[in-house]
Structure 1
């Protein structure tokens, strides 16, 4: 009897530590624990690795690489294409599968963003884009994620105006962002315009022409991240 109870408990532990796919009790891909984004009919909902979180559930192959299981929720599809970008190098990994979970080898102690495209009967749907950090050995602090540009959009043309509000969003797995530096101007390599901002928007004076800007995000341990240069045009 004790032996039977031991086996039963072990079974609960194995299944409790794994990430299951959609089951009959949850056919729409909604996550009752609130993790992941909810799947709706005709959508692709990312599930794991979770947004703006530290991923420490991979299988460590070497001190620099680990295998992470990427998982999402979607209605039946002929094909899925997953795209993963290394936010430090810009290197992109693309894989195709007919399942909603796939193991992929990625760098440890590295920030990534990823999304999934689902194709069925010639119709392609795209998920949101999520960022995450893949945990690394001995890392005590992680740099902030590169700021997400909210507005203006890249290469956007703006009707004639005298001012534009630059907007962005910042996130950090350590939750210790202390400020933002804004680089802005008409040079493709913009100079520092405003530093140590505690807000995530800035109003700038403009005239007709092309403008370039980027955000440097800083945390309490002097780690930084670079959004990359964005461009917009005032007509």
Structure 2
């Protein structure tokens, strides 16, 4: 009887270990690493389809625990996004020429609803006869969209990040106000920040950044909003 009880104990212990090991097995997809088109590049390797469109190859490294991928493409002029699903680590997509884009990969696992997103990379899909390229729209860093801010002595700071293919950004214009068409409050900024911005409590603000390069090209970050407590 004693030997039988010892046997049952061992069986239960082994089963418990198996369940424990199974419980810690991760099904969360790994983070994909992008390869091409490269960050902040002029894409010249696409296949021209027409005067307005070309086909571009996107590639990335495989991610662990992943069954499929979503390629998400964002047109940085219209701010519209397109999603393409694939089980491969490369895919062709038809894009507008002469247009800046941002892209990222979302890794998916069939047995989990959790997805893992790669970094976002920007590139410019080139067009015929282009000798200079507009800067990429500025990335709004702070305040983020919808963020609630507690000011210090009635003032806040604004931060953003700018990039361009030719590394020739000349200046920024900051537009800020309480309507969805905020006026320019500062022109000719060469730094990607604006300090000591006076704000009013219990107020929603709208803001955008206009980026200018040395060739006279410019882009709009798109409209963002935040609230002051």
SS at match of 1:189: coil
- The one-character-per-residue Cα deviations of 1:161-212 (angstroms, maximum 9, x if unpaired) are 4111100011110221110000012222110100010000002111211111
CA distance in 1, matches of 2:94, 2:137: 22
Which residue does 2:32 correspond to in 1?
Answer: 44
CA distance in 1, matches of 2:115, 2:190: 39
- The normalised TM-score by structure 2 is 0.82
- The normalised TM-score by structure 1 is 0.80
Matches within 5 A, 1:70-81: 70-76=58-64, 77-81=66-70
Which residue does 2:199 correspond to in 1?
Answer: 206
CA distance in 2, matches of 1:192, 1:58: 38
Which residue does 2:224 correspond to in 1?
Answer: 230
2:172 to 163, 180, 185: 180
- Please say which structure displays the higher CA radius of gyration: 2
Which residue does 1:197 correspond to in 2?
Answer: 189
- The one-character-per-residue Cα deviations of 1:45-104 (angstroms, maximum 9, x if unpaired) are 111111111111111111211111111123242111111011112232211000110001
CA distance in 2, matches of 1:176, 1:168: 17
Q: Single out whichever of 157-166 and 43-52 deviates more from structure 2.
A: 157-166
Extract unaligned runs of 5+ from structure 1. Answer: 1-40
How many pairs are equivalent?
195
1:82 equivalenced with 2:71 (yes/no)? yes
2:142 to 111, 133, 151: 151
- The one-character-per-residue Cα deviations of 1:141-161 (angstroms, maximum 9, x if unpaired) are 111100001111100011254
Bigger relative contact order, structure 1 or 2, given CA contacts below 8 A and separation 6+?
2
CA distance in 1, matches of 2:169, 2:63: 38
CA distance in 1, matches of 2:205, 2:80: 26
2:118 to 127, 131, 149: 127
The Cα RMSD (Å) is: 1.3
CA distance in 2, matches of 1:126, 1:88: 23
